[in-house]
Structures are given as C-alpha cells and as structure tokens.
Amino acid sequence: MASAAERRPFWLLVAGTVALDRITKIIAENALLDGPIRVIGDVVQWRLIYNPGAAFGLGSAIGPLGRWVFLAVAVVAIVLLARMSREADV
C-alpha cells in the first residue's frame, strides 16, 4: 500500500494541472475580450468562444443538467483514483 508521502506527487500534479488550466483560461479570456488575435493572417486566429456544454460541446443538448452529470462523473473518478492510489504497491 502506498503511503501518503508516496501519493503526494500525484496529488501535487493534479493540483498543479487544475491551477495551470485555470490560469491559462484567465489569461486567454483577458487577451481575447477585445476581439480575435491573428496568428497567421486571416487563416489562423484565436477567438474567445464559450462552450455551453462539456468537452467538445458534449452535453449541450441536455442543457444545464449536463454539467451536473459531468461533475458527478468527475467526482466519482477522483474518488476511484484516490482509492486506487492508496491500494497501489509502489
């Protein structure tokens, strides 16, 4: 069974990934509020678009309920990962 000290790098990686994701979203939103940024002329542009669903628009057809469903799935996945990390032989 993995000790808490052995599981710490995993949870630090999870926390770092979530923090980095949030930081890059804030930076992108602030940079793109005034309009698109041309990267390669008119061919490639960065635009600010909000996704009403989850990943790739999945769940947008079922409305706000879709977010709660995906949240529940994510919480279950985190709980399972935590249990698996406690039981893993490292």
The string of pLDDT tens digits covering residues 40-85 is 988 999 999 887 666 666 666 777 777 788 889 889 998 898 888 7
CA dist 46 and 40 (Å) reads: 10
Residue 76, pLDDT score = 95
Residue ranges with strand state E in 13-85: 37-40, 44-46
Residue 41, pLDDT score = 87
Q: Which of 32, 65, 68 is nearest to 49 (CA)?
A: 32
Q: Which of 17, 19, 11, 12 is nearest to 85 (CA)?
A: 11
Contacts of 53 (CB under 8 A, 6+ apart): 59, 60, 61, 66
The string of pLDDT tens digits covering residues 13-49 is 989 999 999 999 999 999 999 999 999 988 999 999 8
